[in-house]
Copies of this chain bind each other. A is one copy, B any other.
């Protein structure tokens, strides 16, 4: 076994049990970029654990140039929070705050920071910036007024992620095809994963891990560029949505582990060449990613298949209203306002008015 394990403390439950995370570390030769991979920040999104399992088994057979840290089961509180037969793990059950919107938005002025450090050479500057990000996380956790449960978890994870050059956050959708959140500057990365659809996202912080990891570096690159120095964006951060929640599929996990390995090979984290799976890959800008909400309530037959392009004229949903039998409104067909590719749909088959039924990529192009 080439992997080391340690536990990181992230919280404490009311009855006194400590919450901790297993962190696995594959040590590289120091010749390649370092990697941080986490899974299951949303409690029901378990498939990333299976992908980490398959990836760890694969990694035992490769030559590692960079270090790889892996954090499965990254949100024990969310994983353990059941409600009926499902995992209620998308938000803190006390506050409603989405576990993936709790990362720290670094408040310091990067323009000022750059000017104070611009005399440093590139490598020293990068090292200093990374240190600042990690220190800011520590400072936040030591606030004398305390921090929320979710913020403690998120900032602890973030603090580990800031130490890496490549950050992968493994999620799933509710009922979903595979898709990737990728910053616009990193567009070429989308060619390596076993994932057909990619959302290209801008340089703005909305609270998620990928943004927490890349936004400061993208901003630093822009600031430096405005001063005539081309640093490039030194950190890559991507969110992989690996199909549907509440599903473990070891065979499918192997396919995604191989896609990750192809990306790591491309980035020089492993010495061997691993080629990506040949497949068509498509992109969509985040501003064209649309949510379709139920215009009225009822029972829902989801007709639109995730990952399959549809016309605005195709039936998307049968909406059944048994309270209206005989009125002509007992069965309604809903359609999209424009052509698109349904990427995910809601998990329940009965919905209130306004429930988000589908997320849809529009204006899709081949990457």
Q: Which residues from chain A sit less than 8 Å from chain B, CB to CB?
A: 1, 3, 5, 11-17, 19, 22, 24, 43-44, 46, 49-50, 52-53, 56, 72-73, 76-77, 79-98, 144-152, 174, 246-250, 290-301, 318, 320-326, 330-331, 337, 346-356
Contacts and interface: CB of A to CB of B under 8 A. Distances in A.
A349 B82 contact: no
A165 to B, nearest CB: 24
A99 to B, nearest CB: 9
Q: Which 10 A-B pairs have the closest CB atoms?
A: A146-B293, A91-B96, A149-B354, A96-B96, A72-B322, A16-B323, A12-B297, A12-B353, A85-B347, A15-B76
Contact of A79 (B14, B79, B87, B295): B14
Given A52-B322, A322-B73, A83 B83 contact: yes
A358 to B, nearest CB: 10
A323 B24 CA distance: 9
A46 B349 contact: yes
A34 to B, nearest CB: 20
A354 B151 contact: yes
Contacts of A354: 11, 146-152
11 contacts: A12-B352, A15-B297, A49-B299, A49-B320, A50-B299, A50-B301, A79-B350, A81-B81, A82-B348, A147-B293, A246-B347
B348 A85 contact: yes
Contact of A87 (B43, B323, B350): B350
Contacts of A298: 14, 16
A11 to B, nearest CB: 5
